[in-house]
Structure 1
């Protein structure tokens, strides 16, 4: 297996889905430039995406939302229902807010714009592979006013200091392992705190909890 020489780690294996061949080629070039990421499969629609995931068992999926036939969001909805689903992020543009909101509801872990800086895109893929969440701040700014309408404000009372510390980690997109390392806790303990937080906040997933925390200024 090839190893990322700079980090001494195996490259993150990615499946890409986009119906524009030039976009696919450009994303692949960007992602594989430093050796930290290897694109193991490509797809031009949602059906091909699901087939590529089955064939290659990637660490991360990056998918456009608007594609012919089975669109990306429909494919990700099927994928997220699987217990062994890899982390997934949608690649979107500013005029697809409805898709982003629905992707959040079904539990997609990342929201990235297609013009994301190449280095930031690679970092995002590595963060997703590690179990973190990736939220492009430009998307967050647009969506928060709309999403926050149904959230409690101010945040629920009764959060312990440790839960607040874990919530800050979620707001920053940290994985359970990263939060555990920062706080000096076992990863299993952090997982329990995250589960408790989701219940207390009424959040469907860690990405929604992260957005809630950002809306409340918890960073």
Structure 2
């Protein structure tokens, strides 16, 4: 079971997200907090696997909370939540050590996938955010140690950037799902990363998706 906690200053938002989490029996919602400082106190008392944290909060906002959490060597997975698609905040959150960045208008399936993805060690981001990043912002993810991709891999990478799942990619390019999975693994290896989001970020920075 994945232990989850929720940090948001708006009670109605917390209740809504908590209701979505309760639909999945694989999740255990351990506690909730209304701001970053309260969350730090609760983390010290009861650690969890995944934290869902609002970006904008009074007293201590989500970014400040995340920085404080990482300063204490906490390796808890953190997904930042926001109402608006704000690329600057996305970059700031990723630099502070976030494992994901998610818009609040999620349904239960997307929320489930997000929690499971970061729990499994992946990085998560909304495709709409990735498409809005400037070259200067993308320079944060520059990596000289990437290998060239062939035409098939570039085509699959562009679908990954659009948020397609392996099954959706397989349907789009008329390949077996297992073959697509192998291509994705090769793409991640060539781009020197373990997850799809950072692969897309590196590809954008390198101009591979232009």
- TM normalised by structure 1 equals 0.68
| 3-state SS in 1 of match to 2:132 | helix
- C-alpha distance after superposition, 1:51-81 (max 9, x if no partner): 2222221110110011111111101111123
Supply the distance in 2 between the matched residues of 1:85 and 1:45 (Cα, whole angstroms). 19
Q: CA deviation at 1:108?
A: 0.7
Alignment of 1:35-74 (within 5 A): 35-74=25-64
| 3-state SS in 1 of match to 2:192 | helix
Paired position in structure 2 for 1:177: none
- Are the counterparts in 2 of residues 14 and 59 from structure 1 also a CA contact under 8 Å? yes
Supply the distance in 1 between the matched residues of 2:117 and 2:198 (Cα, whole angstroms). 17
Alignment match of 2:14 (pick from 8, 24, 27): 24
| 3-state SS in 2 of match to 1:16 | strand
Q: 1:71 to 1:84 in 2, by over 3 A?
A: closer
Supply the distance in 2 between the matched residues of 1:55 and 1:69 (Cα, whole angstroms). 20
- C-alpha distance after superposition, 1:97-127 (max 9, x if no partner): 3322211112211010000222111111011
Q: CA deviation at 1:212?
A: 1.4
Q: CA deviation at 1:83?
A: 3.3
Supply the distance in 1 between the matched residues of 2:199 and 2:85 (Cα, whole angstroms). 24
- TM normalised by structure 2 equals 0.70
Paired position in structure 1 for 2:110: 120
Alignment match of 2:192 (pick from 192, 197, 211): 197
Supply the distance in 2 between the matched residues of 1:158 and 1:96 (Cα, whole angstroms). 28
Query: What is the CA RMSD across the aligned residues, in angstroms?
Result: 3.9
- Are the counterparts in 1 of residues 81 and 101 from structure 2 also a CA contact under 8 Å? yes
- Are the counterparts in 1 of residues 85 and 103 from structure 2 also a CA contact under 8 Å? no
Q: 1:34 to 1:99 in 2, by over 3 A?
A: same
Supply the distance in 1 between the matched residues of 2:76 and 2:196 (Cα, whole angstroms). 15
- Are the counterparts in 1 of residues 40 and 65 from structure 2 also a CA contact under 8 Å? yes
Indicate whether 1:92 and 2:87 are aligned: no
Indicate whether 1:156 and 2:144 are aligned: yes
| 3-state SS in 1 of match to 2:64 | helix
- Are the counterparts in 1 of residues 141 and 201 from structure 2 also a CA contact under 8 Å? no
Supply the distance in 2 between the matched residues of 1:42 and 1:35 (Cα, whole angstroms). 18
| 3-state SS in 2 of match to 1:41 | strand
Supply the distance in 1 between the matched residues of 2:12 and 2:86 (Cα, whole angstroms). 20
Indicate whether 1:133 and 2:123 are aligned: yes
Paired position in structure 2 for 1:6: none
Q: CA deviation at 1:142?
A: 1.9
Q: 5+ unaligned residues in a row in structure 2: which ranges? A: 164-180, 183-188
Q: CA deviation at 1:132?
A: 1.1
